[in-house]
Amino acid sequence: MNRLNGKTAVITGGATGIGLAAATRFIEEGAFVFIFGRRQEALDAAITALGPNARAVSGSVSELADLDRLYAAVKAERGTLDIVLANAGAGSPLPLGQITAEHIDDTFDTNVKGTIFTVQKALPLMGPGGSIILTGSSAGTTGAPGFTAYSASKAAVRNLARTWAEDLKGTGIRVNVLSPGATATELAKQALGEEGQKAYGAMTPLQRMADPAEIGAAAAFLASSDSSFMTASEVAVDGGLAQL
């Protein structure tokens, strides 16, 4: 399948987990991918795995100068941009009663501010047929005990797509949200252990966590013309967790 043949994509948080799975799938379907992340070692390993149709730029989505460097690299090598997967995210548990201003700032700087500027700074390179994909979460719909800031930030991401679909009227650029549930990334496996993975999987009707490749496949659908009449939509890839 070559649904993304000749397309240029940017994936933030693209060195590991869902981002890397999406980058792998995009390249398999013909795209040239720029991955963006903070850890150079992870970026280097990802580029080795992804091959010649990938480039890496290091930086943080909450630092505007870093995003400027990213898009300057895209413009210099590719000229234009077709797909943005705003996937960089942060979240850690802190129960009500212990929440700090710093905790809120750290979460919202990445998940909301970072998403806004990842997209805003991409727009000058994009045109008709462009696809913007925001990574949401089932927690943005259901909430998650102990994850006040994270859940609220992902609910905000969902609303960004609704707002931007209106803002982008007439441009031919679509914007949608991809909302995973619990996903068996390497980080999640290490954090949860075998019993934790079973517990999270048991919360879904499918009785398991997602494989990152399953989220990557959904991202490729939203990036391609197969979803050409979709904008402002949310695609839940959560095993039914937030749907019942």
Q: Which amino acid is at 47?
A: I
d(Cα 23, Cα 27) in Å, to the nearest integer? 6
Is 75 among the residues known to form the active site? no
Look at the block and give the residue holding tokens 């990842």. Answer: 118
Selected catalytic residue, list 121, 154, 169, 189 = 154
Provide the 10 A C-beta neighbour count for residue 207.
Answer: 10
Selected catalytic residue, list 121, 150, 189, 200 = 150
Residue among 105, 173, 103, 176 at smallest CA distance from 135: 176
**DSSP states of 179-208:** EE-SB--HHHHHHHHHHHHHHHHHTSTT-S
Is 154 among the residues known to form the active site? yes
Kindly list the catalytic residues.
Answer: 150, 154
